[in-house]
């Protein structure tokens, strides 16, 4: 099996190395990742300048750094390698739970693979630290991959690991109410600046990704690319609307 690995923290993040170490138990691994951090870039793609694809020394792994976004890296990685079977993204330093999915570059790398017809899994670690110990997490990443590869579906999965997992659970995406705040400040030259902070105002719903991780469970959330509200659509007129 051919496994392409990317992330949004950049090719030198410790999380991508940990993911590659586990992936190597399943097949041939190639890393194609951004040359600098691209967190919270969502599914941005580069269309106004050329991309570069440079070989990078990562020990046993064939690796390439790209001056682009996570979605660019996956598109280019799939183009430059003949028919990979699986794309993995991460392990992100920080969670991608609930509404965080909307701006996550880690999840976008997996989404890009899914758009291009390749099965994909995004991995994130719910931690605030810069250099977590990935060793105790590797058996959980491996167990998740075994479980996902045993079943032909789902094709796109968002995985969040708590710092000290005790089990693995299928979940749904938490959609909580948030209170958006803007914190104003002043830079060293006396200029105003602004900092966005979003704080949840409700507790996580039982069975959701955020609920699972807060209970020390690895959360597996199946995603699909169609975000249409089909339940609502079924209640709306099927016929073309009259011109006003």
Residue 8 is a binding residue for Mn ion (CB under 5 A): yes
Strands (E), the chain: 2-6, 28-34, 53-58, 61-66, 86-93, 119-125, 156-161, 167-170, 178-186, 192-200, 217-222
Considering the complex, state which of residue 114 and residue 124 has its C-beta at the smaller distance from Mn ion: 124
Handedness of CA 199, 205, 208, 209 (dihedral sign): positive
Please report whether residue 72 would count as binding Mn ion according to CB under 5 A: no
Closest CB to Mn ion among 92 and 171?
92
Residue 240: count of CB within 10 angstroms of its CB: 6
What sign does the dihedral 227-231-234-240 (CA atoms) show?
A: negative
Torsion, CA 7, CA 88, CA 175, CA 200, rounded to 10: -40
- For residue 109, the minimal CB distance to Mn ion (Å) is 10
Contact window for Mn ion (CB under 5 A) among 32-40, 172-180, 194-202, 223-231 = 32-40
The verdict on 9 binding Mn ion (CB under 5 A) reads yes
Query: Which residues, in sequence order, are CB contacts of 148 under 8 Å at separation 6+?
Result: 121, 154, 157, 220
DSSP 205: P
CB of 197 to Mn ion, least distance (A): 18
Which segment (17-25, 39-47, 203-211, 228-236) binds Mn ion by CB under 5 A? 39-47
In the list 92, 127, 174, 221, the residue contacting Mn ion (rule: CB under 5 A) is: 92
Q: Can residue 158 be called a binding residue for Mn ion (CB under 5 A)? A: no
Kindly state whether residue 39 participates in binding Mn ion, applying the rule CB under 5 A.
yes
100 lies in the binding site for Mn ion (CB under 5 A): no
Q: Where along the sequence are the contacts to Mn ion (CB under 5 A)?
A: 8-9, 39, 92
């Amino acid at each position: 099996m051919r496994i392409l690995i990317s992330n949004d923290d950049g090719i030198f993040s410790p999380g991508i190395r940990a993911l590659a170490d586990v992936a190597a138990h399943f097949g041939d691994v190639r890393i194609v990742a951004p040359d600098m951090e691209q967190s919270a870039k969502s599914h941005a793609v580069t269309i106004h300048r050329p991309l570069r694809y440079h070989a990078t020394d990562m020990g046993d792994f064939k690796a390439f750094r790209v001056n682009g976004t996570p979605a660019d890296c996956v598109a280019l990685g799939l183009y430059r390698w003949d028919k990979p079977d699986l794309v993995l993204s991460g392990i992100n330093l920080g969670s991608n739970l609930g509404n965080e999915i909307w701006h996550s570059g880690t999840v976008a790398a997996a989404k890009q693979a899914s758009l291009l017809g390749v099965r994909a899994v995004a991995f994130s670690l719910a931690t605030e630290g810069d250099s977590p110990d990935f060793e105790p997490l590797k058996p959980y990443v491996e167990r998740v991959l075994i479980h996902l590869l045993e079943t032909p579906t789902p094709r796109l999965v968002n995985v969040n690991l708590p710092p000290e997992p005790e089990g693995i659970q299928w979940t749904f995406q938490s959609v909580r109410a948030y209170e958006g705040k803007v914190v104003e400040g002043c830079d060293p030259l006396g200029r105003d600046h602004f900092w966005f902070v979003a704080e949840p105002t409700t507790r996580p719903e039982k069975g959701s990704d955020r609920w699972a991780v807060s209970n020390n469970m690895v959360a597996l959330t199946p995603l699909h690319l169609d975000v249409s509200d089909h339940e609502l659509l079924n209640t709306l007129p099927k016929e073309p609307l009259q011109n006003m």
